[in-house]
């Protein structure tokens, strides 16, 4: 308990709100996260939509995604730093974070389209919609919640892995964790870990809200009507049973 109080005291200490303090570290962490997330989304979303719409290449995408998820985060960062060069740490770490985020976003993109009832797609074709119209006006809106779910997992992967950037000389919230371990200042280490957890929870909450908002109103109303009918069945059955008695 004392360690937690010491960690909170470290977080809210006035010394941590000057140059290079907590706000700066959070800003650096968000910069790495946003940069990697943007690049990963730009690569994975169009590819996922192509796979989901055409139904081709899914097996290859699943295999590559599984292989990317199996890569050790720390080892991948160190390998890319050595390959790209110590003087180009930012590109190396960004590439590593992008590689680790792509599988979740890619899976969310093509799974969102694959989950759509094929009768809906057939109906869109029957009324004369082009393939591009089907993709943009039917598949993307209906598949958006699952895409956001994949993005949610991807951004959390980036936030967690970005803490390792401190080991190769970058800042972010991994820096106080690393420094705390080296100095045996465990309140600082725990304080940095708490900040990472809070940041991850906030981003998770944001994407959770976006997932709910992204569900089309017609789908929400349809779910509500289905749930209402399901809830009324036991009552109707009981009423019929009573009438029979």
Task: Note the pLDDT of residue 217.
Answer: 73
Task: Note the pLDDT of residue 31.
Answer: 92
d(CA 30, CA 161): 12
Q: Kindly report, residue by residue over 160-195, the tens digit of the pLDDT.
A: 999 988 888 778 899 999 989 888 898 999 999 999
SS3 57: coil
Task: Note the pLDDT of residue 243.
Answer: 44
Q: Kindly report, residue by residue over 69-120, the tens digit of the pLDDT.
A: 777 887 888 888 777 766 577 788 888 899 989 999 999 999 999 888 889 8
Low-confidence winner among 59-63, 90-94, 162-166, 231-235 (lowest mean pLDDT): 231-235
Task: Note the pLDDT of residue 189.
Answer: 93
CATH number of 2-214: 1.10.3720.10
Q: pTM of whole model > 0.95? A: no
SS3 170: coil
Task: Note the pLDDT of residue 234.
Answer: 57
The yes-or-no verdict on residue 197 having pLDDT over 50 is yes
**Spatial CB neighbours of 10, under 8 Å, sequence gap ≥ 6:** 16, 187, 188, 191
């Amino acid at each position: 308990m004392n360690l937690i109080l010491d960690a909170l005291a470290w977080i809210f200490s006035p010394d941590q709100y000057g140059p290079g303090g907590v706000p700066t570290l959070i800003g650096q962490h968000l910069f790495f996260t946003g940069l990697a997330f943007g690049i990963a989304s730009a690569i994975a979303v169009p590819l996922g939509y192509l796979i989901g719409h055409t139904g081709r290449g899914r097996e290859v995408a699943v295999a590559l995604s599984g292989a990317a998820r199996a890569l050790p985060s720390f080892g991948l960062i160190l390998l890319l730093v050595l390959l790209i060069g110590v003087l180009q740490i930012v590109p190396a770490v960004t590439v590593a974070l992008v590689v680790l985020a792509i599988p979740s976003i890619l899976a969310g993109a093509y799974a969102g389209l694959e989950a759509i009832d094929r009768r809906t797609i057939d109906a869109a074709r029957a009324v004369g919609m082009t393939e591009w119209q089907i993709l943009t006006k039917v598949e993307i809106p209906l598949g958006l919640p699952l895409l956001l779910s994949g993005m949610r997992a991807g951004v959390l992967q980036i936030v967690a892995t970005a803490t390792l950037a401190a080991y190769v000389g970058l800042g972010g919230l991994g820096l106080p964790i690393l420094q705390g371990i080296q100095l045996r200042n465990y309140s600082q280490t725990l304080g940095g870990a708490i900040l990472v957890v809070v940041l991850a929870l906030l981003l998770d909450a944001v994407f959770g809200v976006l997932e709910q908002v992204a569900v089309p109103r017609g789908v929400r109303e349809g779910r509500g009507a289905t749930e209402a009918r399901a809830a009324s069945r036991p009552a109707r059955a009981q009423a019929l049973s009573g009438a029979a008695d």
